[in-house]
């Protein structure tokens, strides 16, 4: 049975961005019903029961995150909507905002009502100019219709939404870096604890979620918890830490495929299915060498690993960091893995905020080594150094404040371990070319 999209159901409609069009499709009916018939705690309980996990990268249980807010706090409580989306080849939130802004806005309303937030900041990366203008128009329409502001729909609940444009830094996707930027400061991630739920924006309790996560809240409350849990992958009984991978997911497909784009499917689809059935196969009749499964910070997969399910647990089984954003980027058989890794190391070296020495220095070392590789000056001991640096920087080894270093290290260790033969050949070929006598200068 073919899957019927819900998050992208309205994306191709002519009036998909207007309040009138959204209401004709039942928009805001769920919010009006919830406002009348449910308490905020009941909304939180529903999201928690549904097993919704954040779609921004880490996959932390959304409802559980909301419960970390201090009980009985006098406020204010804030919601930060993370639309920074700087993970390369990731564009699921951009499409949601540009094609169906009121769906995102209804998710903001429902979530804010759940945990009593009175202000929501819509933090969007500066390059998303069209998305910013579309969302601002949707916010203006919502205010005019009494869906935002004081005493929404005649209730005692009030919410204001403000757009804040970022300045194009990858580190602003990290929630505390985002908060620092929102406050007008340099986007250096904060030491945790305290976590944002305790001390976030302006040192007040704050929840940070992205648009795809918030849009899922709409459909959990519209269609029910059972409907949501009927989609995706249940927890692995052999893994007590697996919370399951329920609901729909937006997957980005890019790189060396015939039809790149965005597709909505149940969590757990395999990479091979995504490429062959939804990406039109590998371009130019070639074979794939590998792919980036969920944004470059998740690591690399070989073609032999393409049957891995893209749920929150699947990529970890083949040595990747996790599902990430679900952005699959394919590279074909003629692509040099040295070029791929050089590009990735250059990106992370540039985007490291420099606050933590292991990340600042480690990303620089990895890039310098890869730069030498591309010049044909790689050495076998470089592979050992790359692995050691990649293993020892990051929040998981306990050497940095945020996870950027983990994301920088994961594709390096994956590339060296999974494509070692190609690196060794590159070293051998470089050594051979350096051993040739230089041509004599013409007299």
Q: Print burial letters for 99-132: b (CB count within 10 Å at least 16), e (below 16).
A: bbbbbbbbbbbbbbbbbbbebbbbbbbeebeebb
What pLDDT is recorded for position 442?
Answer: 42
- Rg of the chain taking only CA atoms, in angstroms: 23
Distance of CA 364 to the CA centre of its chain: 24
Q: In angstroms, rounded to a whole number, what is the distance separating the alpha carbons of residues 271 and 366?
A: 28
Dihedral sign for Cα atoms in the order 416, 419, 424, 430: negative
Specify the pLDDT at position 441.
44
Per-residue pLDDT at 1: 65
Give the pLDDT band of residue 168 (cuts 50, 70, 90).
Answer: confident
- The per-residue pLDDT for range 231-261, each reduced to its tens digit, is 999 998 888 888 899 999 999 999 999 999 9
- Provide the CATH number for the domain formed by 19-230 in this structure: 3.40.50.11540
pLDDT for the residue 431:
64
- Asked if residue 343 lies in contact with residue 336, where contact means CB atoms within 8 angstroms, the answer is no
- What does the pLDDT average to over 153-172? 95
User: What DSSP state is assigned to residue 191?
Assistant: P
Categorise residue 85: left if φ over 0, alpha if ψ from -120 to 50, beta otherwise: left
Question: Can you give the pLDDT at residue 433?
Answer: 60
Rounded CA separation 65/80 (Å): 13
pLDDT (0 to 100) of residue 432:
61
Per residue in 10-61, pLDDT (tens digit) is 999 999 999 999 999 999 999 999 999 999 999 999 999 999 999 988 899 9
Q: Is 202 left (phi over 0), alpha (psi -120 to 50) or beta?
A: left
28, 77, 402, 180 alpha-carbon torsion, rounded to 10°: 100
Q: Over 90: is that where the pLDDT of 400 sits?
A: yes
Kindly report, residue by residue over 149-162, the tens digit of the pLDDT: 999 999 999 999 99
Confirm if 135 and 100 have CB atoms less than 8 A apart: no
Percent of the chain's residues with pLDDT above 70: 97
- Of 60, 16, 332, give the one whose Cα is nearest residue 213: 60
| Residue 438's pLDDT band (cuts 50, 70, 90) | very low
What is the pLDDT at residue 443?
A: 37
* Statement: residue 143 has pLDDT above 70: yes
Contact call for residues 405 and 393 (beta carbons, < 8 A): yes
Average pLDDT of span 277-305: 97
From 369, 379, 367, 236, select the one nearest 312 (Cα to Cα).
236
pLDDT tens, position by position, 57-101: 889 999 999 999 999 999 999 999 999 999 999 999 999 999 999
Exposure string (b/e) for 205-232, b if CB count within 10 Å is 16 or more?
bbbbbbbbbbbbbbbbbbeebeebbebb
For domain 337-433, say whether CATH 3.40.50.720 is its number: no
The strand pair at 78-83 and 288-292 is best described as unpaired
Domain boundaries, the chain: 19-230, 247-332, 337-433
End-to-end alpha carbon distance in the chain: 76
- The average confidence (pLDDT) of the chain is 95
- The architecture that CATH gives domain 247-332 is Roll (3.10)
Tallying the residues shown for the chain, one arrives at: 443
Phi/psi at 85 (5° precision): 40, 55
Percent of the chain having pLDDT more than 90?
Answer: 93
Longest pairwise C-alpha distance within the chain: 93
Q: pLDDT for 323-359, tens place per residue?
A: 999 999 999 999 999 999 999 999 999 999 999 999 9
The whole-angstrom separation of Cα 362 and Cα 399 is 11
What pTM was computed for the model?
0.94
Buried b / exposed e along 245-282 (16+ C-beta atoms within 10 A)? bbbbbbbbbbbbbeebebbbbbbbbbbebbbeebbebb
* pLDDT tier for residue 167 given thresholds of 50, 70 and 90: confident
Confidence (pLDDT) at 230 = 96
E strand or H helix at 209: strand 206-209
């Amino acid at each position: 049975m073919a899957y019927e999209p819900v998050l992208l159901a309205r994306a191709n409609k002519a009036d998909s961005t207007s309040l009138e069009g959204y209401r004709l499709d039942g928009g805001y009916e769920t919010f009006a019903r919830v406002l009348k018939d449910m308490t905020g705690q009941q909304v939180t309980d529903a999201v928690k029961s549904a097993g919704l996990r954040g779609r921004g990268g880490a996959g932390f249980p959304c409802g559980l995150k909301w419960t970390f807010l201090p009980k009985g706090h006098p406020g204010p409580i804030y919601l930060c909507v993370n639309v920074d989306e700087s993970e390369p080849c990731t564009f699921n939130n951009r499409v949601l905002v540009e094609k169906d802004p009121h769906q995102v806005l209804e998710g903001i309303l429902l979530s804010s009502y759940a945990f009593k937030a009175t202000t929501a900041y819509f933090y969007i990366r500066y390059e998303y100019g069209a998305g910013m203008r579309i969302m601002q128009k949707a916010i203006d329409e919502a205010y005019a219709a009494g869906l935002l502001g004081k005493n929404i729909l005649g209730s005692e609940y009030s919410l204001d939404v403000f757009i804040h444009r970022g300045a194009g830094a990858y580190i602003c996707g990290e929630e505390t870096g985002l908060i620092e930027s929102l406050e007008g400061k340099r986007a250096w991630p904060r030491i945790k604890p305290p976590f944002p739920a305790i001390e976030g924006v302006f040192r007040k309790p704050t929840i940070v979620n992205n648009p795809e996560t918030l849009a899922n809240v709409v459909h959990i409350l519209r269609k029910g918890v059972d409907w949501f849990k009927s989609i995706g992958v249940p927890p692995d009984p052999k893994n007590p830490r697996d919370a399951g991978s329920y609901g729909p997911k937006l997957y980005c497909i890019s790189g060396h495929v015939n039809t790149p784009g965005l597709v909505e499917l149940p969590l757990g689809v395999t990479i091979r299915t995504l490429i062959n059935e939804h990406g039109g196969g590998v371009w130019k009749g070639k074979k794939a060498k590998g792919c980036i499964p969920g944004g470059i910070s998740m690591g690399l997969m070989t073609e032999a690993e393409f049957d891995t399910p893209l749920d929150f647990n699947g990529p970890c089984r083949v040595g990747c960091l996790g599902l990430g954003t679900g952005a699959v980027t394919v590279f074909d058989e003629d692509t040099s893995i040295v070029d791929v890794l050089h590009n990735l190391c250059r990106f992370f070296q540039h985007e490291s905020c420099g606050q933590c020495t292991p990340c600042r220095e480690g990303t620089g070392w990895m890039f310098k080594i890869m730069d030498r590789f591309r010049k044909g000056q790689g050495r076998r001991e470089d592979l050992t150094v790359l692995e050691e640096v990649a293993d020892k920087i990051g929040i998981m080894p306990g050497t940095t404040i945020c996870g950027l270093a983990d994301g920088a290290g994961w594709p390096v260790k994956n590339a060296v371990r999974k494509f070692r033969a190609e690196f060794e050949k590159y070293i051998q070929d470089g050594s051979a070319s350096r051993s040739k006598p230089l041509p004599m200068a013409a007299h």
